[in-house]
Structure 1
C-alpha cells in the first residue's frame, strides 16, 4: 500500500478540519444540498465528457494510487541475471519451466517469445507495442481523474450561483438568507476540497506511477532482448543498471 497517498489525504483533511473546529463547530460546514450539487454535478458532467465505462473505471484507477504491485528494479535485475546464467549453461529452452512461475504477464510473455525462438527484432516490436498501449491506457485514466478535478470547482461555482439566486429571491425573509448563503459558499468549498485535496493530486500520482511502470517495462524488455541475443549476464546487469540512478544501482561482488 502507498502510505504517501494515505498520509497525504489524512494530513490535508485533518489540518483543514482542525482549522475549522478551532474557530467554529464542524456541523455548520455540513450541507447535503451542496454535496449533491458538487458530487452529482461532477459525475454527471464526467459522463457527458467521457464514455460511461471510463467513469465507472475511475474507481479502479484511483485504487492504483493506494496500491502498487510493481517489482523493485533490484528484483528485476536479479531475475535476469539468473535467467541469463541458466540460458548460457543449459540453453534457452531451460527457461520454459520457469515461465509458469512468473506473475508478471509482460515478463512472462516476453520470455515465452524468446523461448519460442522469435528474432530479437520481432520480440522488441511486440513488447514495444505493449508498452505503447499501456502508456495510452494509463494516460487516459489520469486524464479522466484530472478532468473530474477540473469539473468539481466549476460545479462549486454553479452551486454558489444557485445559492445566491435563492438568497436574492427571499431577501424579504431574513430566516432564509442564512441557509441559502451557506449553500452558496459551501459548494465552492466542497468543489475546491475535492479537486485540490483528492482528484488533482491523484491524477499527478497516477502519472508518476505510470512513468515508473513504463520504466520497469523497458528494463524487462532490455533484459529479454539481451537474453535472446545470448549476451553475458554481467553485460545484462550493466545494461539494466543504466536505467537506475547511480545511488540505486546494484554492484556485484
Structure 2
C-alpha cells in the first residue's frame, strides 16, 4: 500500500477547501455539477479519441498501482539467481529445468528457458532486451493516458468557463440567472487546473516511476541470466547484481 498517494490527495483537498474556508468563502460554492460534467466529460472524451481499446484497458488496470504498487523484491531475485548459478555449476544448465514451472512471471520463465536451452549469452541478452523494450513502450503508452488527461483538463476548464460566460451574456437582462453562469465559469477553471495538477499528472508521474523500476528490475534479471550462461562465479554474480538493487548501500 502506497500511503503517500492517500496522504498527498488528502493534503491537497484539505489545503484547497481549507483555504476557501479561511478566506471566508463557502465550500458549497466549489461544488458545481454542470462544471464537473463539462470538464471531466470533455477531458475523458478527448483522451478516448486518441486511445485504442488495448491501451485503455491497460491504463485502467495500471490505475491501482498508484495506491498499491506491484511488489518488487530485488534481494530475493538476486538470491534466486545466485542459487541458479550454484546449481548450474554443480548439475549443469539442465539441472534448472525443475525451476521453470516455479516462475510465475512469463519474462523470467522465458529467460530461464533460453538459458537451459543453451543459447549464447548475447543471444539471450538480445532476445530479452527486445521483449523488455516492447513491454516498457506498451506500459509508457498506457501511462500517457493519464498525462493526456492532465493536458486536456485545463483546456476543458477554459471551455467550461467560456460556456458559463456565454450563459451570463445571454441573461444580462435577468440578474437572477447571472449567478449560475458565473459560478460555472470560475468553478470549471478550478476543476480543470486542479484535476490536472492534483490528480492526473501526479498519477502519470508515479506510474512512470513504477514502470522504470520494473524495467530496472528486469534488466537485473537479464544480467543475472547472461552471467550464469557465461559460467560466472556465483559471488561475482551476486556483486554485479547488487548494483541494480536500489537499497544496496543504504
Taking the aligned partners of 1:4 and 1:76, their CA distance within structure 2 comes to: 26
Mapping of residues 65-144 of structure 1, within 5 Å: 65-144=66-145
Cα-Cα RMSD: 1.8
Q: Which moved more, 1:131-140 or 1:60-69?
A: 60-69
Q: 1 CA distance for matches of 2:95 and 2:14?
A: 55
Q: CA deviation at 1:147?
A: 1.0
Instruction: Give the drift of 1:226.
Output: 0.9
Q: What does residue 189 of structure 1 align with?
A: 190
Q: Please say if 1:215 is aligned against 2:208.
A: no
- Structure 1 runs of 4+ aligned residues shifted over 6 Å read none
Q: Which residue of 1 aligns with 2:11?
A: 11
Shift of 1:240: 0.7
After superposition, the Cα gap between the structure-2 partners of 1:102 and 1:191, relative to the gap in structure 1 and judged at 3 Å, is same
C-alpha distance in 2 between matches for 1:243 and 1:52: 34
Which whole-Å deviations, capped at 9, do the CAs of 1:100-141 have from their partners, x for residues lacking one? 122222112101111122222221111001111012112211
Distance 2:111 2:245 in 1: 21
Give TM-score, length-normalised by structure 1: 0.92
Matched pairs, number? 249
Runs (5+) with no aligned partner, structure 1: none
Secondary structure at the aligned position of 2:119 is classed as: coil
- Deviation, structure 1 residue 249: 4.4
Structure 2 residue ranges without an equivalent (≥5):
none
In 2, the alpha carbon distance for the partners of 1:87 and 1:10 equals 51
In structure 1, the partner of 2:25 is 24
> TM-score when scaled to structure 2?
0.93
